[in-house]
Amino acid sequence: MLRTVQATRYVLPLREGGSLPAIVEASDLGMYVVKFRGAGQGIRSLLAELIAGEIGRAIGLRVPELVFIEIDPVLGRNEPDYEIRQLLKASTGLNLALDYLPGSVTFDPAARDTVSKEEASLLVWFDAYTQNVDRTARNANLLVWHKKLYPIDHGAALFFHHDWPSRESKIDAPFPQIESHILLPWAAEIPAVGREACAKLTPAILEEILHQVPEEWLEASAADSTGESPAERRSGYLDFLVRRLNAAHIFEQEAIDARTRIV
């Protein structure tokens, strides 16, 4: 289960994209990168971050620890930047954060960073499964820390939940966006890692991951669309993930074909 900590000090904004994450110190004296519920992408970004991140951890990827982090309204009281003050005010309550990796650098093939074919294949498979559109050369969302690879920022995964009625059509979709994946050239073991990942992602494991999602987030994500209850929305995510796993051969073949075209 995810731990819960309290934000004690706003340290530094990370002005990347529209979400305006930040480094924040917490009550356990740890430093975290916080994804705020009041940011532009909204609560669904946090849902994707939690669900996809914990799936990645379950299949053996080095996803930095995720924690719930409570934001008190007084945290931004003395913040001189108006935009940050408003963001903190809009994010009062439960947010999501990942462990800050000091000294880490972005994975960059131009800097001769490399990755094993097994790890590349697993990351490609994972992103195709969760339909993460944001692991490209332009925005790798991969950190190198102590010579090991850490995938971060999964807020763009599970993009079907921005149009919930489209969920059914996305279950057995091939995910052609995988062609732009930064690690695709190294991903020579997709079928093998796919079999191992499918074996690890049992319905019970997926249900356990989804059980960690706060009801208030599920309620907020459904409020402006279907109006489903949190239990119904949670069940919808589980149905999608289980059935997409059963259709893994479709997105695996798409990734294999895409790799064939570029190597």
Q: Are residues 138 and 252 in the same domain?
A: yes
Structure confidence by residue, pLDDT tens digits, 158-187: 999 999 999 999 999 999 999 999 999 999
Q: Are 244 and 125 in contact (CB under 8 A)?
A: no
Query: Going by C-beta distance under 8 Å and a sequence separation of 6 or more, which residues neighbour residue 8?
Result: 24, 25, 26, 27
Residues paired with residue 67 on neighbouring β-strands, in sequence order: 97
Is 159 contained in some domain? Answer: yes
Strands 22-26 and 31-35: antiparallel
pLDDT for residue 19 is more than 70: no
Q: Which letter, b or e, does each residue of 5-33 get, where b requires 16 or more Cβ atoms within 10 Å of its Cβ?
A: bebeebeebeeeeebbbbbbbbeeebbbb
Q: Quick one: which of 211, 199, 204 has its CA closest to 122?
A: 199
Please give the tally of structural domains in the chain: 2
Is 219 contained in some domain? Answer: yes
Q: Are residues 133 and 248 in the same domain?
A: yes
Give the structural domain span for 238: 113-262
Q: Are residues 93 and 174 in the same domain?
A: no
Q: 69: which DSSP letter?
A: E
Structure confidence by residue, pLDDT tens digits, 195-210: 999 999 999 999 999 9
Q: Are residues 93 and 119 in the same domain?
A: no
pLDDT for residue 222 is more than 90: no
Is 48 contained in some domain? Answer: yes
Is 19 contained in some domain? Answer: yes
Q: Are residues 159 and 240 in the same domain?
A: yes
pTM: 0.96
User: Collapsing DSSP states into helix, strand and coil, what is residue 83?
Assistant: helix
Instruction: State the average pLDDT for the chain.
Output: 94
Q: Are residues 48 and 89 in the same domain?
A: yes
pLDDT for residue 227 is more than 80: no
224 pLDDT band, cuts 50/70/90, is: low
Whole-number Cα distances in Å, 127 to 15, 177, 182, 188:
24, 10, 11, 15
Q: Are residues 166 and 229 in the same domain?
A: yes
Q: Are residues 143 and 74 in the same domain?
A: no
Query: Going by C-beta distance under 8 Å and a sequence separation of 6 or more, which residues neighbour residue 132?
Result: 52, 126, 154, 156, 157
